[in-house]
């Protein structure tokens, strides 16, 4: 996790959610299948070297799954986990083409990835326009780095398919000054803006959009650009801003009562306890839930309470999240229903759209979970993962 450094604000909530869920399982249920879960946390400050250091330091302790929460660390770990045989879960980030489990045996990125996100965003705009974006202008405003550049090929493919005009505008790290980008947007008046930002870039972008009077409902961020942190500094002006999501918002779920009772009141909360119910907290919790489910599956499948990384991997590869699973965990309808296979480490790419309500100060989903354009996305994934396989002498296979 990273609770320090430029992206601390996002890192804290996620880490709290992740840790609290496991604490809850330990406190309430006595662990997973009777085995206490331990969640060692390393502070990486979003820094690749520290990530690697952490990985090396902890892998010998029998780690079951890694959740690095930074795209760059993911890239370093992908080859390492193949050798060490430990699964890596990059939920909604990381290397998109890792969805192809034939090439990336140990890397999982269910339930959604960036290319799904790009496609989902376009789908949403399609919905708003009765299925046609012919002649519309869509601008991708993105972080000038690996993360921000991920959606470009997908969007280019989609632009061709749907006949909209795509422009991309890059913002360099850290993105405190975006005047020129927004003046450009003001001049060109795109119909829609898709936004791939992280950290301070988000807050400034939302603020600047408000400043130039851009209609907020046409401005949509990826899920990493859609937390309370991103919209609060802009105040009322942020009302109506949208962001993609792949899980529910708010604390209106039974699990939160349990967290209050077993974790917060017991004084075992990971952080200050002030993040509960925030978007990123929920995301951390959701990630923890998925990991816990896989672990439980592994125990079930092998009949052994003490599972190994290899068992964990196999369980992740056959993971199936049903409505019942979520119900049992106290989070009914929290995320999409999906399943993982060896060919598909990325789930079904179901995403949803959330919108910010500045008066109520809360995010809420305004759509169901809907699929991405699998045709476009999967073709791209295939191409990219095969290129990787060729470069690294991997024979794609499923056994």
Partner 1 sequence: MSADFLYGIEVIINGLMAGVLYALVALGFVLIFKASGIFNYAQGVMALFAALTLVGVMEGQVPFSHVINAVFGTEIHHFGWEVPALLAIFVTLMVMVLFAWLVQQLVFRHLVGQEPIILFMATIGLAYFLEGVGDLMWGSEIKTLALGLPQGGSLVVEDWTAGLGGDDFYGFFIDKLDMVATLVAIVLVAGLIGFAQYTKQGRAMRAVADDHQAALSVGISLNFIWVLVWSLAGLVALVAGVMWGAKSGVQFSLSLIALKALPVLMLGGFTSIPGAIVGGLIIGVGEKLFEYMIGPMVGGATENWFAYVLALIFLVFRPQGLFGEKIIERV
Partner 2 sequence: MLYREAGDFKTSYPEDSQTFPIAFDRWRYWAVLAIAFLVIPFVINDYWASSLMVPFLIYAIAAIGLNILTGYCGQVSLGTGGFMAVGAYACYKLMTAFPDVNIVFHVLLAGGITAAVGAAFGLPSLRIKGFYLAVATLAAQFFLVWLFNKVAWFYNYSASGQINAPERFIFGTAVTGPSAPAWAQYLVCLVFVTFCAVLARNLTRGSLGRSWMAIRDMDIAAEIIGVNPLKAKLTAFAVSSFFIGISGALFFAVYLGAVEAGDSFGITKSFLVLFMVILGGLGSIFGSFAGAAFLVILPVFLKIIGVDVLGWPTEMVAHLQLVIVGALIMFFLIKEPHGLAQLWRLAKEKLRLWPFPY
Each residue 271-310 as x (binds partner 1 by CB under 8 A) or -, in order, gives -x-x------------------------------------
Cα 387 from chain centroid?
Answer: 24
Q: Which residues pair with 306 in a beta bridge?
A: none
Report the nearest approach of partner 1 to the CB of residue 137 (Å). Answer: 15
210 touches partner 1 by CB under 8 A:
yes
187 binds, among partner 1, partner 2, none (CB under 5 to 8 A by kind): partner 1
As given in the structure block, the two tokens for residue 131 are 């299925």
207 touches partner 1 by CB under 8 A:
yes
267 binds, among partner 2, partner 1, none (CB under 5 to 8 A by kind): partner 1
358 touches partner 1 by CB under 8 A:
no
- The C-alpha atoms of residue 115 and residue 147 are separated, in whole angstroms, by 11
9 touches partner 1 by CB under 8 A:
yes
Q: What angle do CA 315, 375, 378 make, to 5 degrees?
A: 45
The CA-to-CA distance between both ends of the chain, in Å, stands at: 32
Q: Which residues pair with 219 in a beta bridge?
A: 193
Report the nearest approach of partner 2 to the CB of residue 82 (Å). Answer: 6
Report the nearest approach of partner 1 to the CB of residue 57 (Å). Answer: 22
203 binds, among partner 2, partner 1, none (CB under 5 to 8 A by kind): partner 1
C-alpha distances in Å from residue 161, one per residue of 239, 348, 351: 32, 21, 20
Report the nearest approach of partner 1 to the CB of residue 7 (Å). Answer: 8
Of 252 and 393, which has the nearer Cβ to partner 2? 393
212 binds, among partner 1, partner 2, none (CB under 5 to 8 A by kind): partner 1
Q: Which residues pair with 35 in a beta bridge?
A: 32
CB atoms within 10 A of CB 378: 17
Cβ–Cβ < 8 Å for 118, 155: yes
Cβ–Cβ < 8 Å for 56, 42: no
191 touches partner 1 by CB under 8 A:
no
Cβ–Cβ < 8 Å for 374, 148: no
Site for partner 1 in 214-273 (CB under 8 A): 229, 232-233, 235, 237, 267, 272
Helix extents (H) in the chain: 8-29, 48-59, 71-84, 114-128, 146-149, 152-162, 179-188, 200-211, 228-231, 254-258, 279-302, 309-317, 323-328, 374-391
CB atoms within 10 A of CB 125: 19
* Sign, Cα dihedral of 121, 249, 247, 54: positive
Cβ–Cβ < 8 Å for 198, 224: yes
Of 6 and 371, which has the nearer Cβ to partner 1? 6
136 binds, among partner 2, partner 1, none (CB under 5 to 8 A by kind): none
Contact residues: partner 2, CB under 8 A: 1, 3-4, 12, 15, 41-43, 45, 47-50, 52-53, 56-57, 59-60, 71-72, 75-76, 78-80, 82-84, 95-97, 144-147, 149-150, 153, 172-173, 270-271, 384, 387-388, 391-393
C-alpha distances in Å from residue 194, one per residue of 72, 79, 215, 318, 380: 22, 31, 13, 33, 20
As given in the structure block, the two tokens for residue 371 are 């699929």
Cβ–Cβ < 8 Å for 42, 58: yes
Binding window for partner 1 (CB under 8 A); candidates: 7-15, 74-82, 244-252, 282-290: 7-15
150 binds, among partner 1, partner 2, none (CB under 5 to 8 A by kind): partner 2
Of 78 and 354, which has the nearer Cβ to partner 2? 78
As given in the structure block, the two tokens for residue 210 are 């408000």
Count of residues that interact with partner 1, criterion CB under 8 A = 42
171 touches partner 1 by CB under 8 A:
yes
Binding window for partner 1 (CB under 8 A); candidates: 58-66, 86-94, 177-185, 305-313: 177-185
- The C-alpha atoms of residue 326 and residue 290 are separated, in whole angstroms, by 10
Report the nearest approach of partner 2 to the CB of residue 204 (Å). Answer: 18
Instruction: Name the one residue in this structure whose structure tokens are 């401005």.
Output: 219
184 binds, among partner 2, partner 1, none (CB under 5 to 8 A by kind): partner 1
Of 152 and 389, which has the nearer Cβ to partner 1? 152
Contacting positions for partner 1 (CB under 8 A): 3-6, 8-9, 12, 144, 168-177, 179-181, 183-184, 186-187, 199-200, 203-204, 207, 210-213, 229, 232-233, 235, 237, 267, 272, 274
């Amino acid at each position: 996790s990273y609770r320090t450094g430029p992206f601390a604000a996002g890192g804290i909530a996620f880490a709290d959610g992740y840790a609290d869920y496991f604490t809850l399982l330990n406190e309430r249920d006595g662990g997973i299948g009777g085995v206490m879960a331990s969640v060692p946390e390393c502070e990486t400050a979003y820094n690749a070297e520290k990530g690697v250091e952490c990985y090396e330091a902890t892998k010998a302790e029998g780690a079951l799954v890694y959740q690095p929460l930074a795209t760059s660390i993911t890239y370093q770990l992908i080859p390492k986990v193949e050798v060490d045989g430990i699964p890596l879960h990059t939920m909604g980030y990381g290397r998109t083409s890792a969805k192809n489990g034939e090439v990336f045996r140990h890397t999982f990125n269910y339930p959604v990835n960036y290319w799904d996100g790009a496609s989902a965003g376009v789908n949403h705009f399609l919905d708003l326009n009765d299925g046609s974006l012919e002649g519309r202008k869509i601008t991708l405003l993105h972080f000038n780095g690996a993360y921000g550049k991920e959606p470009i090929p997908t969007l280019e493919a989609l632009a061709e398919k749907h006949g909209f005009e795509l422009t991309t505008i890059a913002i360099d790290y850290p993105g405190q000054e975006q005047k020129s980008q927004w003046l450009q947007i003001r001049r060109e008046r795109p119909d829609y803006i898709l936004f791939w930002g992280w950290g301070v870039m988000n807050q400034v972008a939302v603020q600047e959009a408000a400043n130039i009077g851009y209609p907020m409902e046409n401005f949509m961020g990826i899920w990493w650009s859609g937390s309370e942190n991103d919209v609060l500094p802009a105040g009322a002006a942020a009302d109506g801003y949208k962001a993609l999501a792949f899980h529910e918002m708010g604390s209106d779920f039974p699990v939160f009562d349990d967290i209050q009772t077993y974790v917060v009141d017991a004084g075992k909360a990971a952080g200050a306890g002030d993040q509960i119910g925030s978007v990123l907290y929920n995301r951390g919790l959701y990630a923890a839930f998925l990991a816990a489910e896989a672990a439980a599956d592994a125990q079930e499948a092998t009949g052994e309470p003490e599972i190994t990384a290899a068992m964990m991997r196999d369980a992740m590869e056959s993971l199936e999240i049903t409505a019942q699973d979520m119900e049992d965990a106290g989070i009914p309808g929290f995320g999409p229903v999906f399943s993982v296979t060896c060919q598909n480490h990325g789930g079904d790419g179901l995403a949803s759209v959330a919108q910010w309500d500045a008066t109520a100060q809360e995010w809420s989903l305004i759509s169901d979970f809907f699929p991405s354009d699998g045709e476009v996305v999967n073709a791209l994934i295939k191409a990219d993962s095969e290129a990787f396989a060729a470069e690294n002498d991997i024979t794609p296979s499923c056994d």
